Amino acid sequence: MYGTLDHVGLLVRDFDAAVADAQEVLGLPFVRSAPLPQYSVEAAFLGDGPTTLEVFTFTDPEVLEPRLAGADRRLDHVAFRVDDLDALVATLRLAGVRFVTPDRRVELDAPLEIPGRRMLWTTPETAAGVALQLIELAP
């Protein structure tokens, strides 16, 4: 059901400093940016392997502060590529898992369509305390 690990999401207060640290300290090269302004997300993907590190922040303090819970940086989610997002979502829904937008403000009934991808994020309190991002790549 779950495919390969796509990325791990690191939520940060100071986006530029965190990206610079990941590049300098961890030696991870910049791969791409992935802003989602409609959800107040600023993101960069780093690392040249099959799995990357997503460093991201929310530009809206009302979203950022509760998610950081006083920390400057914290692991936020794990993302998997899946072959059949609809089938996995149906199975997870039967177990009581709910899905939300990246900012967790709105519950979703259907995946978000982002060019080349369909995605959903689990509500941690309904998914055994784990925030997952599920990604289905376009054929």
Q: Is the pLDDT of residue 49 over 90?
A: no
Over residues 101-120, the mean pLDDT reads 95
Return the structure tokens found at 19: 């990206």
Q: What is the model's pTM?
A: 0.94
**Of 19-23, 46-50, 54-58, which range is least confident?**
46-50
DSSP of the chain:
----EEEEEEEESSHHHHHHHHHHTS-PPEEEE--BGGGTEEEEEE-SSSSEEEEEEESSHHHHHHHHTT-SEEEEEEEEE-S-HHHHHHHHHHTT--EE-TTSSSEESS-EEETTEEEEEE-GGGTTT--EEEEEE--
Over residues 46-72, the mean pLDDT reads 96
Residue 113 structural domain: 5-137
> pLDDT digits over 8-32, tens only?
999 999 999 999 999 999 999 999 9
Residue 43's Cβ-count burial label (10 Å; 0-12, 13-18, 19+) is: buried
Query: Which pLDDT band holds residue 139 (cuts at 50, 70, 90)?
Result: confident
Query: Which pLDDT band holds residue 4 (cuts at 50, 70, 90)?
Result: very high
As for how many domains the chain has, the answer is: 1
Q: Is the pLDDT of residue 50 over 90?
A: no
Q: Is the pLDDT of residue 36 over 90?
A: yes
Q: Is the pLDDT of residue 108 over 90?
A: yes
Instruction: Please give the pLDDT value at position 40.
Output: 97
Domain of residue 130, CATH code:
3.10.180.10
